[in-house]
Structure 1
Amino acid sequence: MNRVFIGSEALAAGELTEHELRRWYRPVYRGVYVAASVDPSLGDRTWAAWLWSGRRAVISGLAAAALHGSQWVDVGEPIELIGRNSRPHDGLLVRNETLISGEVTKVSGLPVTTPVRTAFDLGRHLRAETAIARLDALKWATFFSIDDVMGLACEHPGARGLRQLKAILPLVDGGAASPKETWLRMLLIDGGFPPPTTQIPVMDGWRILAVLDMGWDDIKVAVEYDGDHHRTNRAQYVKDQRRIRRLEQLGWIVIRVIAEDRPDDVVRQVREAIRRRTSPRSTVA
């Protein structure tokens, strides 16, 4: 018997008795069960949602993004389905939307919207700020073309949320390695700076010294988001400090941003660094 299963099918096959089903298993969704001792993963809940639909729906939204390798999807996120079953159910979101040829693929045995269709849905259904972060994460995990998503919008001219989708797609960047990096990149763009390049490789002779989160390599100004691991992991901290010193020797200004920094202070530091580098007396090594 599978980890997640339809209770009535297990009973009909003689794999369980009704007493065993009630005693040792619990429902994930109506009629779909998992062992009572198991804390269902996002994957378990995705399978359960598909079974709940009678194996007819297509996995979409964040659950589809996770199946395509996108990170930062919480286990408790509602599982989105495209199908015709509109019965309300906690933890499920069923959308009665149109799917055309080429918009569905198979991942781990499940019917899932393709990366392009998944991007199309995320960009329409989520708040703009959240959608950009989710699209960044999806593009980091799996290739999809922004032009292809725009083309899909032409195939669904009456779809809800197209205006927002078209507005945010030019802002998507697959070089953001985390939602915090997306937040930082958007802070810089909203602050009036030219869109920064992401994942900038810096060579030190024949070897790569660093891959910087974002910045402007023509003037050697970089901005990096430091997560907690930079402070809690001593070996990583020492490595980062040595790397920063060498970057400075090579002429880079590197601004380190932490969660406690005020956005206005970050923008001010970046503006001062760019001013230093673009003043008539400035020279870049």
Structure 2
Amino acid sequence: MLLWNGKLVNEEDVRVSYHDRGYYFGDGIYEVFRIYQGHLFEKEAHLDRLYNSLAEIKIRIPWSREELSDQLDQLRDTFGEQDGMLYLQFTRGEAKRAHAFPASSTAVMLGYCEPLARPVDAIENGIATITCEDVRWLRCNIKSLNLLPNTLAKQEAAEAGATEAILIRTDNTVTEGSSSNLLIVKNGTIYTHPDGPLILSGITKKVIERIASELQIPYVQRSFTREELMAADEAMITSTTMEAAPVITIDGQPVGTGTPGPVTRRLQEAYLQQVHALLAGASPAS
């Protein structure tokens, strides 16, 4: 089943117009929710980010937050008790092709679930990464449909035999991954680029920040350089689909010992406890 404009329908009942502005201009936003055994993880935080993105590009939707939340629950219920992801997308809707917003349009919603196993190998053994120039626009805090620079960076990583591309601005500021946030550890302290227009405010990164506070691990939000990245004791990427995956090489060079580090391991263990709390019917600790 798919969620189409507020209703559960079969896939064959979905028709997207070629006049949809999402097709013409990428004029829309999306959100990805993690599902663990049929439970939506950090649902309210994802809804917060969704509504922020909608407001940033001035898309109005005809459903209240409570109505939308209920619709997501209904969609999730059709998925059953398995691990997966819920993808939700809104475009500005149908209009004749013109850059300026139409005088009136109706937002188009599409949502679906699909199976997605936990990335156990990446979590346990770590991943290889490369660095790429960050050529994206200056509104990366909006989770928009315009992802061509991200996909090109991800493809460059894939062709190099790596999992992720770490993006670096022309002023030598390290921002994040092509589809993830980035954190490094130096002398027991976690460093990550602060939220703002240069990165997407990551839900999983916020979970890691909360966990670090609980474990009394120093957590500093400040920008850092490529040289600081390469000199890190540990590094990890975080995302809804990758959880907290250790980075063990960057551009072929080992990070620290070239194996997942102790701070990363403590964070991973605590993250899994949050998931277990969700499955047990309790709210994750805050």
Structures share fold, TM-score greater than 0.5? no
User: Where is the helix percentage greater, Structure 1 or Structure 2?
Assistant: 1
Higher relative contact order, chain-length normalized (CA < 8 Å, sep 6+): 2
TM-score (norm 1): 0.25
For the pair shown, which has the larger CA radius of gyration, 1 or 2?
A: 1
TM-score (norm 2): 0.25
User: Where is the strand percentage greater, Structure 1 or Structure 2?
Assistant: 2
